[in-house]
Amino acid sequence: MNIKNYNYNELDELSAKIRKRILEVVSKNGGHLSSTLGATELIVAMHKVFDSINDPFIFDVSHQAYAHKLLTDRWDEFTTLRQFGGLSGYTKPKESAHDFYMAGHSSTSISLAVGAAKAIRLDGDEGKKIPVCVIGDGSITAGMAYEALNELGDRKYPVIIILNDNEMSIAKPIGAISRILSSAMASPFYQKFRRTTESVVDTMGESAHYIAKKFEEGFKLITPGIMFEEMGIEYIGPIDGHDIKQLCETYERAKELKKPVIIHVQTIKGKGYEIAEGKHEKWHGVGPFDLDSGKSLKKSSKSATAIYTDTLLNLADKDNKIVGVTAAMPSGTGMSELLEKYPERFWDVAIAEQHAVTSMGAMAAKGYKPFVTIYSTFLQRAYDQVIHDICLMNLGVVFTLDRAGIVGEDGETHQGVFDISFLRALPNLTITAPSDEKSFHQVMGFAHKFSTPLAIRYPRGSFLSRDGLAQSKDYALGKSDLLIENDSDILFIGYGNGVGRANLTRLEMQDIEISFLDLKFVKPLDEEMLKRLSKKHSKWFVFSDSSYSGGVASAVLEFLSKENITNISVKSFEYSDDFITHGNTVQVEESLGLLPKQIAKTINELL
């Protein structure tokens, strides 16, 4: 959609039309809502002033980029948002040439912009093209953003950073005076005056330089941009992120500066949908909902996250040594209630997974019992800290990994499939997974008393059904549960939510006798049990919501190789070596051949 010739009234009308389209689709499909509604005008203005093909548009996390998708030839296709085979909820270059980079994790945008600016300079296109990135006030809390700002301020590459402040966290103490002064500092008059003054002062000696510098520093101290200015990056703002005229004029000025610029833009989360406006975390990411009332249309049984919350609250009530941390996801990880009830013992440290892990290591060293609650996909960001600051010290930190397995509509950037593979290599770390509500309560009791590093993974939503299986026995280190034993040659080995998947597969094969093991621990394995079962069952089928490479079947095969047990065939129903696309979880699993009916058919063919 070419909007270069639109006037400001037409751009306002277009913004309203885009918001309506976003609400229509997200209310049916689910998705990110409040942040993308709030960013509508600033994105419309970007497309008015810049060229999204030549000027790389880089959206941090990119969950706020729905308006960008609608402006780049995806208006009709937008009904497929987050659906299997449809549009991604994030930017994706395979989807459109207007999407510079794939993003789903936060705080990468400024680094990407620096890299793009380096390439533009090497290509000889500096002055013709300029990277434009959008980063939220949440994402800029992560250390990676400051690493990039540090180099950018030193190298002075032309880059425009739009800081989307939708919490008023930076500018709140400043108010109207700051807005007036910042607007003045951004004006062509001020910039020309500054350049002229600098050239005059250069001829007047060191004393004049000192006085001029002190005057400018004093002038800027009452603006929120002093930190960025001190890093060598021009600061403009704060400006109204819903005023398209002001946005366009500011973007044009920033472009003329030909240096690194931060434009501080204030927006309202959920803008245009009154129910979602403001600091309502529940409207950040939503399932399908009724557009008139805002009520969720999705009903489900008790989630694994809710079980975790209840259990940890109960433990924390009884033991004041229990502490915990999450990284900007208190609601999603079920930590909100703990933060509210025990604010002196549970913390949200913002988007800072590395800091979260290391800080809890120090607490463990001081005799506390930390629970680090992070999505499986986000623990990847703190891998070095898990190794260096927890496992190396052999500290009793518990990693509770929410959203393990396929997460559905968020897709490739969020699938929690790698945690077993990257954690299993670490010395001193024990890895386990519950398979239902009862076993989750049991493993939390086990974790509370466990004195060395422990990782617990559990799925998004509710556990798959264990109906017809024996109850889980109490947790003991490295001990599995043999749930069904018979003289069959077939052994199902389930791990975590894979127990439910294996059970549903078993129910599809009721004419065949199957022995059934809940592995419970992938590290250490219950080697005694596996040795015993190897003497009776020669066809082993492994079920786990995790990557095959380095996963549960790999652990089993390594054990068999170590023990020189050669009579066993092992077939894994884990995920193949690929990134898993977005979409409804059932449809995604069907595409992978991992629905119980499909697995049962595969096993019958093998037999």
Domain boundaries, the chain: 8-173+227-286, 304-457, 481-606
Among 33-37, 314-318, 377-381, the minimum mean pLDDT is found in 33-37
Residue range 47-53: average pLDDT?
96
User: What top-level class would CATH report for the domain 8-173+227-286?
Assistant: alpha beta
pLDDT at 213 over 70: no
Average pLDDT over residues 573-597: 95
**Annotated catalytic residue within 271, 381, 460, 501:** 381
Beta strands in 199-300 (DSSP E): 234-240, 261-266, 285-286
The two most distant CA atoms of the chain are separated, in Å, by 97
- The answer to whether 381 is a known catalytic residue is yes
Give the model's confidence band at 196: pLDDT under 50 very low, under 70 low, under 90 confident, else very high.
Answer: low
Residue 486, classed as helix, strand or coil, is coil
Helix (H, G, I), strand (E, B) or coil at 264: strand
User: What does the alpha-carbon distance between residue 416 and residue 407 come to, in Å, rounded to a whole number?
Assistant: 7
Least confident of 105-114, 119-128, 134-143, 379-388: 134-143
pLDDT at residue 166, rounded to an integer:
83
Q: Can you give the pLDDT at residue 155?
A: 95
Report the C-alpha gap between 38 and 26 in whole angstroms: 14
The confidence band for 223, taking pLDDT boundaries of 50, 70 and 90, is: low
For 218, 326, 401, 419, 453, the CA distances from 374, given in Å and listed in that order, are 42, 6, 5, 11, 15
Residue 171 is predicted with a pLDDT of: 36
Q: What pLDDT, on a 0 to 100 scale, did the predictor assign at position 412?
A: 92
* Catalytic residue, candidates 19, 74, 269, 520: 269
Asked, as a colleague might, if the bond just before 56 is cis with ω within 30 of 0, I would say no
pLDDT tens per residue, range 148-162: 999 999 999 999 999
Greater confidence (363 vs 290) lies with 363
In the predicted model, is pLDDT for residue 257 greater than 60?
yes
Helix, strand, coil abundance in the chain, percent, nearest 5: 45, 15, 40
Which of the residues 353, 437, 574, 589 is marked catalytic? 353
Sheet holding 369-375, edge to edge: 346-348, 322-326, 369-375, 398-402, 454-457, 430-432, 521-523
CB 86 within 8 A of CB 583: yes
* 562 among known catalytic residues: no
Cα radius of gyration (the chain): 27
Q: Round to whole Å and give the CA distance between 368 and 322.
A: 6
Tell me the C-alpha distance between 152 and 114, whole Å.
7
Q: Which CATH architecture has domain 481-606?
A: 3-Layer(aba) Sandwich (3.40)
Residue 201 pLDDT: 56
Tell whether the model's pLDDT for residue 185 goes beyond 80.
Answer: no
Q: Which of 65-74, 137-146, 162-171, 206-215 is predicted with the least confidence, judged by mean pLDDT? A: 206-215
pLDDT of residue 176 exceeding 60, the answer is no
How many whole angstroms separate alpha carbon 127 and alpha carbon 114? 15
Determine whether 353 is an active site residue: yes
Tens digits of per-residue pLDDT, 444-465?
Answer: 999 999 999 999 999 999 999 9
**Which pLDDT does position 205 carry in this prediction?**
62
Q: Please give the single-letter amino acid code of residue 308.
A: Y
Predicted local distance difference test score (pLDDT) of residue 290: 82
Burial class (CB in 10 A: 0-12, 13-18, 19+), 566: exposed
- Examine the pLDDT at 261 and tell me if it is beyond 90: yes
Q: Supply the pLDDT for residue 173.
A: 35
Report the top-level CATH class of 304-457.
Answer: alpha beta
Same fold, 8-173+227-286 and 481-606: yes
Q: Residue 543 has what DSSP assignment?
A: E
Asked if pLDDT for residue 221 goes beyond 50, the answer is no
CA-wise closest residue to 237 among 186, 283, 284, 188? 186
Distance between CA 595 and CA 476 in Å, rounded?
31
Amino acid 141: pLDDT? 85
Query: Whole-number mean pLDDT of the chain?
Result: 90
Question: Rounded distance, CA 575 to CA 129, Å?
Answer: 41
